[in-house]
Amino acid sequence: MSGPQVVLVTGSTRGLGLAIVQTLCQGFKGDVYLSARDVQRGAMVVEDLQREGLKPRLLQLDITDPVSIQAARQHFMKEYGGLDVLINNAGIAPKRGDPASIGSQAERILQTNFFATRDMCNEFLPLLKKDGRIVNVASIVGYITLYMCSPDLQARLCSDDITEEELVALMKRFVAEAKDGDHINKGWPNSVYGVSKIGLMALTRIQARRLRREMPQRGILINSCCPGWVKSDMTYPNGTKTPAEGADTPVYLALLPPATQEPQGEFVVDRQVQVWAGSPTGATVDEGP
């Protein structure tokens, strides 16, 4: 693939996603796409950034809509011959005091945080140019929630032979059991957000193994990360990091130099790779929603 360099950031009209766009506009040698479900809102954000001297481009994108994903895919193929960097930042969390049942929350939150993000990875991974990068914004909450699962679930989620199909089946199982109110008895924790991020982190590992096996010569890296507890609507806004500080690790992973081989398939916090097996040390669950 050829053409100018280009990066796409999902969920980027505010908070962390917007800060990632701002940071990339200052340091990425290519076009930076801010994506928005609402084009009018996206256009207003782009105008604000232009007044700061930045030059992002706007793309309408709803990651929960397969038609919207296909339109985005076609855009980058036509205009750029592919994509250099995809940062999957779009995600949702339960709101405090949300009266919805945990089953309803599970369906809605996993649809965005896991299933729709998986669709983005699977549609755009074949488009990535040599030395392309995918960064999946996860959370330390998922990392901690993993160790609240039953030993059997932990073993499968951490295994080196779990397939994408098995992972999808596990995430669907969680949603179904949450709807039945039986998820805790079946070994799941009571954190819908946490489980959605476990799924995303496990998916990252699976797809990294696929890249090593099927496309090692292309030099593509895929990693997940935690930006930290960022001040945003999602943290109400009790976060301890500014959005700009939170953008550091996602942007670091997005701009890993060509020919870099590691990290690959890892979960990264403050630019440091975290071990994906064994109980986390010194972690607490107040790092996110």
The pLDDT tens digits of the residues spanning 27-71 come to: 899 999 999 999 999 999 999 999 999 999 999 999 999 999 999
Which of 85, 103, 236 is closest to 175 using CA atoms? 103
What HEC string does 187-235 produce? CCCCCHHHHHHHHHHHHHHHHHHHHHHHCHHHCCEEEEEECCCECCHHH
pTM of the predicted protein model: 0.92
**Nearest alpha carbon to residue 96 among 193, 226, 227, 200:** 193
Q: Is 236 among the catalytic positions?
A: no
Q: Is pLDDT above 50 for 279? A: no
| Nearest-angstrom CA–CA distance, 188 and 191 | 8
Domain 6-274, second-level architecture: 3-Layer(aba) Sandwich (3.40)
Q: How confident is the model at residue 234 (pLDDT cuts 50, 70, 90)?
A: low
> Which position among 33, 80, 143, 193 bears the catalytic label?
193
Query: Domain-by-domain residue ranges, the chain?
Result: 6-274
Burial of 201 (0-12, 13-18, 19+ CB in 10 A): buried
Q: Which residues pair with 31 in a beta bridge?
A: 6
pLDDT (0 to 100) of residue 288 = 38
pLDDT tens per residue, range 100-155 = 788 889 999 999 999 999 999 999 999 999 999 999 999 999 999 999 999 999 99
Could you give the CA distance from residue 129 to residue 189 in angstroms, rounded to a whole number?
39
Question: What are the two backbone dihedrals, phi and then psi, of residue 179, each rounded to the nearest 5 degrees?
Answer: -65, -35
